[in-house]
Amino acid sequence: MSITVTTWSLEQTSPADLRPAREPDPAAGVRIERAEVPSADFSRFLYSAVGGDIFWTDRLALSREEWQQHLERPGVETWVAYEKGTPAGYVELDPQDEGVVEIVYFGLIPAFRGRRIGGHLLSYGTARAWDLAERWPGRTPTKRVWLHTCSLDGEHAMDNYRRRGFRLFDTKVAEEAERPSRAW
């Protein structure tokens, strides 16, 4: 059996497009840090923990070495949200040519969804996409930040992207193999 999956591509073309979410209450103990030491194991943990229930599978076939090589490319950054010391979610930035930065992955571990962390993490990650060239000498300043989401992602994903100032620029519809339900 197959299912219809809609993929939407969204963008910002100016740092002024970003409409930041309100920051969580300091008592919540939420902080966001860059994972400055590229680690295939940590990245795979985040990818699996965030995307497991929504069937992220595209990177699972990568070897540890392939994953590490990707993370070590100049300008690739992983920003991790923590709540009271526990990883809650992440944003992965991938700079491309001509001042374009893609938010390749963004999301929260299921136990942390619905706690007002996602809007803040997306706001913070998008701001880091806009100032990425400041941390990577020789990179072209960012002129465009883009991402994609699909109908299999979390129910609030598209609303969060639009509230942060992302605009739709492309929509694709495709048939995909039906995915099995998750046991956990």
Q: What CATH number is associated with residue 20? A: 3.40.630.30
- Is residue 94 situated within a structural domain? yes
Top pLDDT among 53 and 99 is at: 99
- Is residue 43 situated within a structural domain? yes
HSE-CB for 91 with a 13 A CA cutoff:
27
Query: For 39-76, b where at least 16 C-beta lie within 10 A, e where not — what string?
Result: bbebbeebbebbbeeeebeebeebeeeebeebbeeeeb
- Is residue 182 situated within a structural domain? no
Provide the residue range defining the domain that includes 113: 2-177
pLDDT at 179: 60
3-state class (DSSP) for residue 7: strand
| Distances 144 to 51, 92, 97, 118 between C-alpha atoms, Å | 25, 16, 10, 21
- Is residue 119 situated within a structural domain? yes
- Is residue 66 situated within a structural domain? yes
- Is residue 124 situated within a structural domain? yes
Question: Closest Cα to residue 12, out of 183, 113, 147, 174?
Answer: 147
pLDDT at 107: 94
pLDDT at 180: 58
What type of residue sits at position 72?
A: E
pLDDT at 12: 98
- Is residue 74 situated within a structural domain? yes
Mean pLDDT of 61-89: 96
Task: Give, to the nearest 10 degrees, the angle between helix 40-51 and helix 64-71.
Answer: 100
Tell me how many domains the chain contains: 1
The answer, yes or no, to whether residue 183 has pLDDT greater than 80, is no
Q: How many CB atoms lie within 10 A of CB 115?
A: 13
Mean pLDDT (the chain, rounded): 92
The pTM of this model reads 0.93
Instruction: Please list the helix, strand and coil fractions of the chain in percent, rounded to the nearest 5, in that order.
Output: 30, 35, 35
Residue 13 DSSP code:
S
- Is residue 113 situated within a structural domain? yes
Query: For 154-165, b where at least 16 C-beta lie within 10 A, e where not — what string?
Result: beebbebbeebb
